[in-house]
Structure 1
Amino acid sequence: MGARGHRAARRGVRVDLRTEIAQSWRRAELSGLSPASSIDRLDIADVDSRSRLLRAASPVLDELARQLAGTRFCVVLADEECRIVARRFTERSVELALENISAVPGCQFLEERTGTNSLATPFETRRGVSVDGDEHFLEAMKQFTCYGHPVVHPSTRRLAGVLDITGPAGDANPLLGPFLRRAVADIERRLLDGAKLAEQQLLAAFQSVQHRACAVLALGQDVVLANTAATELVDSADHRLLQDLGRTQRGLRRIRLTSGTPVEVRVEAVSASAGLLFELAPVRPASPVVSRPRSARGLFPAPIEDRLHRAGRARRRVLVCGEPGAGRSTAARVIAGDEPVLDFDASDVVAGEAEWCARIEAAAGARGLLVIDGIQLLPPLAAVRLARLLDTSSAWFALLSGPPAELHGEQATLAARVHRRIELPPLRERRDEIPAIARELLRGFGASLRLTPGALELLASQHWPGNLRELEGVLAAAADRRSAGDLTAADLAPDCTETGAALTGWEQAEYDVIVRTLRACDGNKVRAAKQLGISRSTLYNRMRALRVR
């Protein structure tokens, strides 16, 4: 057995597995699964029986069931979250077998919960996968042979679901793949036909009311229609807010848009699948607002901004930590409020440790907030001297640092002297907020600039290792190229080095783990690979695939 085989054996992955199956086993192991793990307690959620996927797939599933009559095979359909929404089988024994592995409507089949199988693995890899008998990661599933294939919407190219055919392990057949792929093609064709009909219905409903005095907006699955008033009033960042409102409310409501404008909204469903129609009219700011979502005007999540303000009002000493560019200095100014801010940068210690400490001690009697930026860079003696000052002085301090994992020894002891710790999340964990944050940052470069929906989508797809500072830099460069009007994705593209392809949930989690480990290892890839339990070449490959910079 070669070195590769020994490594695979130590990890518990069989060396005779096909590459795609071995990779799936590895993902399952990293999620904490073992072959003996149970899957009889998966959560069950409600299934939308009127979904576009089910309407398109039901006739195809019925035909598959007719063709499979007399066999021990069944077909299972999962939605875009890999949650089972429909099954077809002709024998009661097959139904019981599915129930024994929780393959019932409403259950979500993900690799981190169910291991390698022909629902979870095609969902993860976005391609057709056959899994036969012992290739299943969980012992409970080794009794089956199956083939699964993703269903992709023809017009949006987004994953719409996964179709699977399953039977006893001894009944494996190489024709299962072609048989199922034809069914997938039929479902995708019906999805496209249904989408065209839904778009026609949405357009007709919009045209019937678009000339009204108020703002009129129609939101479909992949279509946005707006009259002139709606274009001026509603930003693309408001679309999700309105869609969430439309799922739970009908009739007349009052909300506040992300711009801060209170509006009265009338919501009407065009049809079960076509979309929602909104009529919006601004109201006086003094009018009561029934539902006020979190304001997008700030650069920090609402709970964190609230903690910053409360720390300022109480004049509490606080540690603000986060990745570079996450807004630590801005957070310190939120804490200070109207009080003066006295800045001291830990990197200046190299010019003279004693002099640097003396300047802070001299400023301790001044009015305002003393901000010490970069305490993770402080040498031990400077950290000890600063900690002693915190113990003996009543001065108001804000300590700024990198992530808590970067604080060691005397630096960690210094951080323990403060009353509160506030950790700023990286921008990649706030993807839904990026459009609103970008709008707020763009205000600093000119009131006449506006980000188009395509530009906002491109910004939201980036990883932003430099966080808010990097986003601000991209917007500044785009504003230099176009000083007025709409900023499009093409205007941003020169500084958005990513491809723009969104990561899957698993890929995003893997990206975050690699970034955190590299930062904890000071960028040393050999140490990071060892800590992650993978080879250095594997780490390099994953960094290239995930575009980790």
Structure 2
Amino acid sequence: MRSPAKDRPTDRDRADRGDLVARDRQRFLAGEPLDPARVRGDILASWRRSREQDVPADRVVHTFQDDIDPEMGLTRSARPVLRALREQMEGQAVSIILSDHTGLVLSRSSGEPELDRYLDMVELAPGFCYGEDSVGTNGIGTALEMGGPVAVLGHEHYVENLERLSCVAVPIKHPVTGRTVGVLNLTCWTRDAGPLLLSLAKNAVAQIRQELTAGAGDGQLKLLQAYLRASRRSSGIVFAVTGDTVILGDSVRTRLSPDDQSAMVTHALESLVNGNRKQIDIDLPSGTRARLQAQSVGEDEKGTVVSVSLAEAWTGRRPNIEHSSDAGLPGIVGTDPVWAHCCREVETAARNDEWLVVRGERGVGKLAVLRAVHLRLHPGSQVTVLDAAVERTASAWARELAVALHGSSTGVVITHTEALDANRLNAAAEALQAAKAKPGSELRWVAATLADGADELHLLPLLDLFPRTVDVPPLRLHLRDLPLLVPHLLRRIDPHGHLTYSADVIATMVRGSWTGNVTELDGVLREIAAHRRSGEIVLEDLPPAARTVSRRRLTHIEALERDAVVAALQQAHGDKTRAAKALGMSRATIYRKIRDYGILAPVRPLSQG
């Protein structure tokens, strides 16, 4: 076997980088600001977690447990794989370490006595726990926290007497339940660290998973097979349970919070598995209404595959949603129940001349819904829109509002009410109160838009005049409307119909995060139309932001990095090795970037011939 040392950087490179990381670690511990570009994001996040948990930075402090079962399932399944890996690495100064799901070290095998003695000194040995809450940043603990492969090199360790070591660690997920059952960790001297170790660890973990599959009971395998069949048939949420096994796939983890997941599984076990019911409707902690339908598995019917449909997936403020087919309003599209419910709520208030606040994230279509409702109820009439974000004095604002309330329009919409300062807020409240109190005048219907998360306590003098609030769902929670929205928006941008789009484009867009909602979607389509004026829009036309599934807003630096990775993958036709080389990074790094930014990498074409 080729030594890991042959893949390592030069001594000068390693020393320079080690010095920089050591200085950055000292600055971090001293509470001084750091340059985020100099410390890897995963490491910096781990340092912060370690500090928040008051982990000592100068020594390893943890307790010993002597009740390890050498025949537990993971240890037994991993034993032949670790034995073969030890033979493959014979003579190398690398220690092969197996831990359980808490970070408790179960076994250790080293290829060099000196390394073994050092690991004993820092208590990286069977019976000691290397969870991040005990030892801070380290391969085992940080891999468990991240839920994926990790490398911790030298001074990146939080505790200083681990700085002579480097390690790579890969979580071991049970092939049936999907739960993390342990970690495989390879540790060496920092001077010997190289990228080969991570590949070896990943390959070994894949073999351990095969051994775990072989050791799974017949009932577990039948449950897994039934779960996989149900998942292939359904694009919705599917999970499986028995008395001691739970299988949760990505459909659950990406669409439901941990609290909702826990509550859903508990209800399933109590009512569907133990209570022998086939269907239940439940309210999850987030307010989501869910229907669970069960299918028994196996001759004894102790296993259950559960299909979940969400009646409301965006807020707990309106728990009872009727399922109609369409919002049916002019100028807007959408058939998802949460979107249709929102439109009906606004229309009901408008029909009753009830003043209301429409609340939601930026770009969700708050003003569009209000305009559409007004147009449906008052065809040919005018609605006056006053933007509170436009700078004006309190007196000018009061005059403008008074004119609108007594003018020729049949409705008034005040947008961006969260932008009102105290003076203009009071002026608006007084003008609206005066309009309500004026005898003999025809009262206009008034609505206001409010950004989600605004300081509603500050706005109380104004909001008290609006007896009703309707929440508009963000696009990411009614994504099945996207195949209707794309052609609708394209017709506005390209009224002559020169542009079409492929099914792959819609499929990719539906997986997007769309943190900027419909406004972001419209911007993406306009950007595409600016460089492709006719023909079919294909995946290569989508900007980088539309080819990711990240659920958070990126910093400017992160967005630039994401765009560079997307461009490199596109130029390499999905070949991650070529893309990594073009960017000057390792394969492990580009895989981490793809995962961190939720990049939907293009499919690498099959070779011809």
TM-score normalized by structure 2? Answer: 0.47
Residue matched to 1:464: 514
> Is the Cα–Cα contact under 8 Å of residues 326 and 426 in structure 1 kept in the other structure?
yes
2:253 is the alignment partner of 1:254: no
Which structure 1 residue ranges, 5 or more long, are not aligned? 42-50, 207-216, 227-234, 281-291, 446-451, 479-488, 515-524, 526-536
Residue matched to 1:346: 386
Counterpart amino acid of 1:361?
L
**Out of 263, 275, 296, which is 1:267 matched to?**
296
Q: Alpha-carbon deviation of 1:147?
A: 0.9
RMSD in angstroms over aligned alpha carbons? 7.1
Residue matched to 1:481: none
Counterpart amino acid of 1:37?
V
Mapping of 1:296-311 within 5 angstroms? Answer: 300-303=314-317
Q: Alpha-carbon deviation of 1:117?
A: 1.9
Range moving further from structure 2, 92-101 or 389-398:
92-101
Deviation string, structure 1 residues 438-460 (Cα, Å, up to 9, x no partner): 58979999xxxxxx998786345
Which structure 2 residue ranges, 5 or more long, are not aligned? 1-19, 63-71, 110-115, 242-247, 253-263, 283-288, 322-341, 437-442, 490-501, 529-535, 566-596, 600-609
Mapped to 1, the partners of 2:34 and 2:421 lie a distance apart of: 52
Deviation string, structure 1 residues 445-483 (Cα, Å, up to 9, x no partner): 9xxxxxx998786345423143145558989999xxxxx
Deviation string, structure 1 residues 14-58 (Cα, Å, up to 9, x no partner): 9999987565553345668369536999xxxxxxxxx99989645
Counterpart amino acid of 1:301?
T
Deviation string, structure 1 residues 207-249 (Cα, Å, up to 9, x no partner): xxxxxxxxxx95429x8554xxxxxxxx512546996789744
Aligned residue for 1:326, secondary structure, equals: coil
> Is the Cα–Cα contact under 8 Å of residues 147 and 166 in structure 1 kept in the other structure?
yes
CA gap 1:392/1:77 in 2 versus in 1, 3 angstroms: farther
2:391 is the alignment partner of 1:325: no
Mapped to 2, the partners of 1:444 and 1:10 lie a distance apart of: 53
2:428 is the alignment partner of 1:401: no
Mapped to 1, the partners of 2:448 and 2:293 lie a distance apart of: 44
> Is the Cα–Cα contact under 8 Å of residues 326 and 424 in structure 1 kept in the other structure?
yes
CA gap 1:205/1:463 in 2 versus in 1, 3 angstroms: closer
Mapped to 2, the partners of 1:492 and 1:241 lie a distance apart of: 35
Aligned residue for 2:317, secondary structure, equals: helix
2:134 is the alignment partner of 1:147: no
Paired positions, count: 429
> Is the Cα–Cα contact under 8 Å of residues 345 and 374 in structure 1 kept in the other structure?
no
> Is the Cα–Cα contact under 8 Å of residues 153 and 190 in structure 2 kept in the other structure?
no
User: % of aligned pairs identical?
Assistant: 15
**Out of 69, 88, 91, which is 2:107 matched to?**
88
> Is the Cα–Cα contact under 8 Å of residues 324 and 467 in structure 1 kept in the other structure?
yes
Aligned residue for 1:325, secondary structure, equals: coil
> Is the Cα–Cα contact under 8 Å of residues 417 and 449 in structure 2 kept in the other structure?
yes
CA gap 1:40/1:179 in 2 versus in 1, 3 angstroms: same
> Is the Cα–Cα contact under 8 Å of residues 253 and 266 in structure 1 kept in the other structure?
yes
Residue matched to 1:129: 151
Counterpart amino acid of 1:148?
V
> Is the Cα–Cα contact under 8 Å of residues 343 and 370 in structure 1 kept in the other structure?
yes
Aligned residue for 1:220, secondary structure, equals: helix
Mapping of 1:10-159 within 5 angstroms? Answer: 12=30, 23-28=41-46, 33=51, 36-37=54-55, 57=78, 59-61=80-82, 75-77=97-99, 84=103, 87-89=106-108, 102-103=129-130, 109=132, 115-119=136-140, 129-132=151-154, 134-138=155-159, 142=162, 145-150=165-170
> Is the Cα–Cα contact under 8 Å of residues 475 and 492 in structure 1 kept in the other structure?
no
- Who wins on radius of gyration, i.e. which is larger? 2
Aligned residue for 2:406, secondary structure, equals: helix
Mapped to 1, the partners of 2:465 and 2:125 lie a distance apart of: 57
Residue matched to 2:235: 236
Mapped to 1, the partners of 2:100 and 2:320 lie a distance apart of: 41
Mapped to 1, the partners of 2:147 and 2:294 lie a distance apart of: 41
Residue matched to 1:388: 430
Q: Alpha-carbon deviation of 1:301?
A: 3.2
Mapped to 2, the partners of 1:18 and 1:360 lie a distance apart of: 51
CA gap 1:136/1:477 in 2 versus in 1, 3 angstroms: closer
> Is the Cα–Cα contact under 8 Å of residues 343 and 373 in structure 1 kept in the other structure?
no
Mapping of 1:148-297 within 5 angstroms? Answer: 148-150=168-170, 163-166=184-187, 174=192, 181-189=199-207, 191=209, 218-220=226-228, 224-226=231-233, 235-239=234-238, 248=269, 249-250=272-273, 253-254=278-279, 265-268=294-297, 294-295=310-311
Counterpart amino acid of 1:60?
V
Mapped to 2, the partners of 1:184 and 1:329 lie a distance apart of: 51
Residue matched to 1:373: 415
CA gap 1:149/1:35 in 2 versus in 1, 3 angstroms: same
> Is the Cα–Cα contact under 8 Å of residues 237 and 436 in structure 1 kept in the other structure?
no
Q: Alpha-carbon deviation of 1:267?
A: 2.7
Mapped to 2, the partners of 1:16 and 1:23 lie a distance apart of: 12
Q: Alpha-carbon deviation of 1:136?
A: 1.4
Counterpart amino acid of 2:416?
G
Counterpart amino acid of 1:118?
G
Residue matched to 2:330: none
Mapped to 2, the partners of 1:387 and 1:152 lie a distance apart of: 60
> Is the Cα–Cα contact under 8 Å of residues 357 and 450 in structure 2 kept in the other structure?
yes
> Is the Cα–Cα contact under 8 Å of residues 165 and 190 in structure 2 kept in the other structure?
yes
> Is the Cα–Cα contact under 8 Å of residues 483 and 506 in structure 2 kept in the other structure?
no
> Is the Cα–Cα contact under 8 Å of residues 127 and 149 in structure 1 kept in the other structure?
yes
Mapped to 2, the partners of 1:266 and 1:538 lie a distance apart of: 44
